[in-house]
Amino acid sequence: MTVFDFHARLTPEPEALPRLLRALDAAGIARAAIAAGGVVDLDRLSAQLVDGGHSRATADNETVRAAGAGSGGRLVPFYFANPYAGVRAYRRDAARFRGLELSPAVYGVGFRDPRTVALVEVAAAAAHPVYTVGIGQSGARTADLVDLAREFPAVPFVLGHCGFTGIDIHAVNLIAPQPNIAAETSGCYSVVARAAVDLLGADRVLFGTEYPLQHPSVELAKLAALDLDPCSFRKVAWENAHRLLGETHQAEGRVL
């Protein structure tokens, strides 16, 4: 089983990288897309999801970049954008990253906000996929993401966690008509992940773990429980990630 984890995080602690690599090794995960973690603590983040609010803290993108550069291609770095900081840093460093993450949950900035649009314009120029998760606030819902994706039809967008909540079938239905939005499966119920495969097709679903918030073995068990046919499994677990990143793929973790 060759697996690409399309959504893991690297926190700023000194031992975070070796812990991540050990977790991937133990789970048999060959590659992972990584973005900065620990931008805000979980208590604050969960409160913002319910009550609104935002942070202006900047993610530790340099640690993510360095981890990716030193991994021999195993770790694929995504730039975690702070919309309050503008686009200059992302534009300057885009060539050293492989994708962009937008987080309305952390920053409280919606998908139609000019600051978000400016970041996606840089992603389009860099041929970066854009990973994000909608929230239940005006301007940052899945429907707003669909509007943004329509404006940038050549940019691949990935809806994290198959939506805002663990049972967000509505979000999966909303993105279904928009072909440049895929869904990532970490954190959602298995019935939602299965619905994503059925509604979107296996070509538009990616496996992820949300490590370290979720143990990889939990998400691998969910993937196995979907009972996908071998072709669909390869797409979800391996092939789709490489296609969105503009890579060709082969078995056993080799990238050609």
**So what's the pLDDT on residue 85?**
96
Average pLDDT, the chain: 95
Domains in the chain, please, with CATH?
4-253 (3.20.20.140)
- pLDDT tens digits along 108-149: 999 999 999 999 999 999 999 999 999 999 999 999 999 999
**So what's the pLDDT on residue 1?**
61
The SS3 of residue 86 is: coil
- Compute CA distances 5 → 61, 144, 157, 238, whole Å: 19, 26, 16, 8
Residue 240 · residue 206 · CB < 8 Å: yes
pTM: 0.95
Long-range contacts of 40-44 (CB under 8 A, 24+ apart): 40/106, 42/213
Rounded CA separation 127/72 (Å): 21
- pLDDT, average across residues 150-177: 97
- Band (pLDDT 50/70/90 cuts) for residue 250 is low
**So what's the pLDDT on residue 224?**
97
Residue 73 · residue 255 · CB < 8 Å: yes
- pLDDT tens digits along 192-220: 999 999 999 999 999 999 999 999 999 99
- pLDDT tens digits along 71-111: 999 999 999 999 999 999 999 999 999 999 999 999 999 99
- pLDDT tens digits along 43-76: 999 999 888 999 999 999 999 999 999 999 999 9
